[in-house]
Every structure is written in C-alpha cells, then in structure tokens.
C-alpha cells in the first residue's frame, strides 16, 4: 500500500520548521554552521517554546526537544487536530539516540563519582526517550516504537508505519527520524578527516571527502494512501537494492522525474552513488544545507516530498554497495 503524507515537520540547520526548511531548499535561507574545533551544522529547537510551556521544557533533553518540535510542527503543518487523526501511533528512529544525555550521565560518574550517578540523565538517555516524551506530551496512548540501525533506520521506520496502517493497528502514524550532534562526534569526524575541515559538503562530488557532521529531525504524518494528502504519497520502500537493480528501476520508472540522493560528502559511500545511472533525470542532494548524519535521509525524503516533481526516487546508501530506495508519488 502507499502512504499519504498529511504533514511534515523539520528541525535542522535551516531552522525549526518545515517552512524554514522549504525556504532553505529554495535558496532563501542559509544553514547555521557553528565553527568550533570543526564546523558543524546545528539545529535550532528554540521554537519548541511556542508549543510547550517553558516550565515543562526544563527537564527535556536537547535531542528530545528536536523530536518534539518536529512533531508539533508536522501536526500544525497538516492542519489536522490530533484528536481528529483517529487512532495514532508514533515511530521514531535514530542511529545515535540522545547522545548529549548519554554523555551527561557519564559526566556525572567521571566528575562526581559512582555515588553521584545522575538518575535524571540515565532515565533520559534511553533511545526511546523522544518517542515517549511525544507520547506523554501529546497524550498519544497508541503503539509507540523506536528503531536504531544506522543506515537502515529510516527504512525501518517507514516500513513499520506502513505495516501498522495497512493492518489496521492505527489510522495515523507520527513517523520521524533524526540524530543529534555532540562534541565527541565532532572529534571523531576530525580524526577521520585528519583534522582537515572541508570548506562545505559537496554531496554530488562523489570522489571528494567533504563530510561535515550535522543534526536534525524530520517528522511525517502518515495515513492510508486513500486519504487526501498534502505532499503526495510514499510508496513501498525497497531495501538493500544492488546497483544494477537500482539502475533498472530508474530506467523502467518512466514516471520518475528526479533522483534525490542522501549523499553526504562521504566518498566511501560516494563510490556507490557514482554508479547510479540516472539517464536524463535530474539528480539532487541537499546535505550541504543540513549536514551529515545517518538519519538525515529523513530530511532528504522531506525535500523530495517538497519538490515540484510529482514522482521522485530517493536513494540512501545502505552499506556494502547497496541502496535503500524510497519513491514518492503524485500529490
């Protein structure tokens, strides 16, 4: 079955809303790049105070704030009140989870000793903390799930959303994925790049390593494909597709009007993207606007759904020279 995309939310270096994300894609905004030891694309979650009282935000960690803001933004974008969405579930994905909270807990051990381990940081360091908070803050008592499998995270989220809707478990899924930055990620990137910072991500220069870390969270409000959609539909995800099969899909897919790549300046992955034969179809990538992180594929899919073309294929490197493919359909 296909999934109708009723609304979207995006928190990224382009801003804290899908409108700012769209404006950035259209060239009307610049990404926020923080330059410390190494440049990093930073997301801004300050807009969350427009949806939740400041007091309620005090104990909510930085990663969960991104997920909450993207979720509130997506619901607002859909123009549908949560109470009118029917039975609702939540599925989030993240490769790294709440990294800053994970290390804040370790800070409590290292700085203050084992006896001073922080219960608050420990409780919020579990990967499902963002989904749980969205469930609690919005009062969603349906199924709530979190997945984490690096480059298979986003495909897992969308496939599970399809399964829940197709099997009548829920009517609507708040599906999203993202990752947050932490200084250790910056350090690891600097080490991998021998301390030489690229001037910026050049996602379509597959030979060049121009990887820079980023952070962000994208959320999709998904429902049965028969429902009127704001952004068109997401068709079935194809996982672990070899290059030959990918090229056949592109060649045979007469309706495919553009190819969006989740390429992120990692030349190791670029070797696979370079083998894709898109023919005359325009090829695009946008990681230079939000940085590199495993779940940035969700932002790439959001960009595809925002594009003027009705039918777009998104390709994500899934490891071992294979791709995950996501297809959007008519609005």
Partner 1 sequence: MRNAVSITGIGSICAAGNTLDLSMVSMYAGIRNCSPPVLIKSSLDTEYPVFEVKNLSDKLPGSRTVKLAWKALHEALEQAGLSEKELNGKNVGVCIGTTVGCTLNNEAFYRDFKAGIKPDIKPIHDFLSNNPALNISKALDLKGPVSCPVNACASGTDAIGIAASWIRDGICDIAIAGGTDELSRITYLGFISLLISSGTPCRPFDKNRNGLNLGEGAGILILENNKRKRKSLGEICGYGTCSDAYHPTKPHPEGKGLLKALSMAFAQAGISPDKTAFINAHGTSTPDNDRAEGNVIKSFFPSEVPVFSSKSYTGHTLGAAGAIEAVFSLRSLLDGRLPATAGFTDYDEACGIIPTTENIEIDSGYAVSNSLAFGGGNSCLIFRKEG
CB atoms under 10 Å from CB of 98, counted, come to 27
Q: Name the minimum Å distance from CB 15 to partner 1.
A: 28
289 touches 31 (CB < 8 A): yes
Contacts of 29 (CB under 8 A, 6+ apart): 14, 15, 20, 23
The 3-state DSSP class for residue 314 equals strand
Tally of residues, the chain = 331
- Choice between 165 and 306, CB closer to partner 1: 165
- Choice between 27 and 113, CB closer to partner 1: 113
Rounded CA separation 294/173 (Å): 21
Q: Name the minimum Å distance from CB 106 to partner 1.
A: 5
246 touches 272 (CB < 8 A): no
**Beta bridge pairs of residue 260:** 284, 314
The 3-state DSSP class for residue 5 equals strand
The residue among 115, 95, 238 whose CA lies nearest residue 180 is 95
User: Residue numbers of the site for partner 1 (CB under 8 A)?
Assistant: 90, 96-97, 99, 102-103, 105-107, 109-110, 113-115, 117-119, 122-129, 131-133, 135-136, 138-150, 152, 155-156, 159-160, 163, 166-167, 169, 184, 187-188, 191-192, 239-240, 319-320
Q: Name the minimum Å distance from CB 138 to partner 1.
A: 8
- Choice between 136 and 277, CB closer to partner 1: 136
Q: Name the minimum Å distance from CB 122 to partner 1.
A: 3
- Choice between 145 and 210, CB closer to partner 1: 145
Q: Name the minimum Å distance from CB 105 to partner 1.
A: 7
Q: Name the minimum Å distance from CB 93 to partner 1.
A: 9
Question: Strands, DSSP E only, in 12-95?
Answer: 33-35, 39-41, 88-93
Q: Name the minimum Å distance from CB 285 to partner 1.
A: 22
The 3-state DSSP class for residue 234 equals strand
Tokens 């670029």, residue located: 270
Rounded CA separation 317/281 (Å): 19
- Choice between 200 and 242, CB closer to partner 1: 242
- Choice between 57 and 278, CB closer to partner 1: 57
Rounded CA separation 56/110 (Å): 29
- Choice between 159 and 205, CB closer to partner 1: 159
Query: Residues 167-176, buried b or exposed e (16+ Cβ, 10 A)?
Result: eeebbbbbbb
Q: Name the minimum Å distance from CB 117 to partner 1.
A: 4
Rounded CA separation 22/247 (Å): 29
Q: Name the minimum Å distance from CB 55 to partner 1.
A: 16
Query: Residues 251-289, buried b or exposed e (16+ Cβ, 10 A)?
Result: eeeeebbbbbbbbbbbbebbebbeebebeebebbbbbbb
- Choice between 136 and 207, CB closer to partner 1: 136
- Choice between 187 and 226, CB closer to partner 1: 187
């Amino acid at each position: 079955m296909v999934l109708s995309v009723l609304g979207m939310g995006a928190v990224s270096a382009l801003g804290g809303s899908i409108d700012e994300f769209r404006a950035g894609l259209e060239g009307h905004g610049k990404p926020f790049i923080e330059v410390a030891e190494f440049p990093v694309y930073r997301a801004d979650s300050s807009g969350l105070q427009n949806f939740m009282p400041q007091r309620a935000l005090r104990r909510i960690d930085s990663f969960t704030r991104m997920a909450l803001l993207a979720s509130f933004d997506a619901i607002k974008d859909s123009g549908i009140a949560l109470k009118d969405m029917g039975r609702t579930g939540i599925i989030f994905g993240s490769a790294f989870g709440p990294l800053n909270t994970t290390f804040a807990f370790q800070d409590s051990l290292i700085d203050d000793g084992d006896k001073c381990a922080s219960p608050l940081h420990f409780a919020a360091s579990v990967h499902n903390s963002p989904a749980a908070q969205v469930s609690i803050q919005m009062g969603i008592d349906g199924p709530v799930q979190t997945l984490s499998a690096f480059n298979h995270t986003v495909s897992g989220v969308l496939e599970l959303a399809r399964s829940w809707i197709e099997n009548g478990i829920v009517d609507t899924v708040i599906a999203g994925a993202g990752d947050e930055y932490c200084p250790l990620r910056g350090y690891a990137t600097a080490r991998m790049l021998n301390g030489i910072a690229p001037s910026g991500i050049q996602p379509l220069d597959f030979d060049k390593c121009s990887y820079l870390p980023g952070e962000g969270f994208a959320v999709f409000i998904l429902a049965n494909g028969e429902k009127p959609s704001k952004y068109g539909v997401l068709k079935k995800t194809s996982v672990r597709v070899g290059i030959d099969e990918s090229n056949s899909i592109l060649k045979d897919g007469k309706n495919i009007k553009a190819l969006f790549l989740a390429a992120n300046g990692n030349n190791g992955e670029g070797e696979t993207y370079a083998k894709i034969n898109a023919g005359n179809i325009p090829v695009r990538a946008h990681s230079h606007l939000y940085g590199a992180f495993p779940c940035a594929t969700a932002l790439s899919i959001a960009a595809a759904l925002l594009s003027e073309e009705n039918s777009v294929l998104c390709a994500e490197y899934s490891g071992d020279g294979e791709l995950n493919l996501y297809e959007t359909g008519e609005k």
